[in-house]
Amino acid sequence: MRLVNYKLQTQMENLNENSDNKYFKEYLKSILEDPNTPYFQKADYIGLCLQEINSKVEYIANDIKELQAYKKRL
Using CA atoms, how far residue 31 sits from 41, 44, 49, in Å, is 10, 12, 13
Residue 2 CA: distances (Å) to CA of 5, 51, 53: 7, 11, 11
Q: How confident is the model at residue 73 (pLDDT cuts 50, 70, 90)?
A: very high
Of 21, 40, 20, 17, nearest to 29 by C-alpha is 21
Residue 41: phi and psi, rounded to 5, are -70, -40
Residue 32 and residue 42 in contact, taking contact as beta carbons nearer than 8 Å:
yes
What are the pLDDT digits (tens) for 4-50?
778 888 888 888 888 778 888 899 999 999 999 999 999 999 999 99
pLDDT of residue 59: 95
Amino acid 1: pLDDT? 53
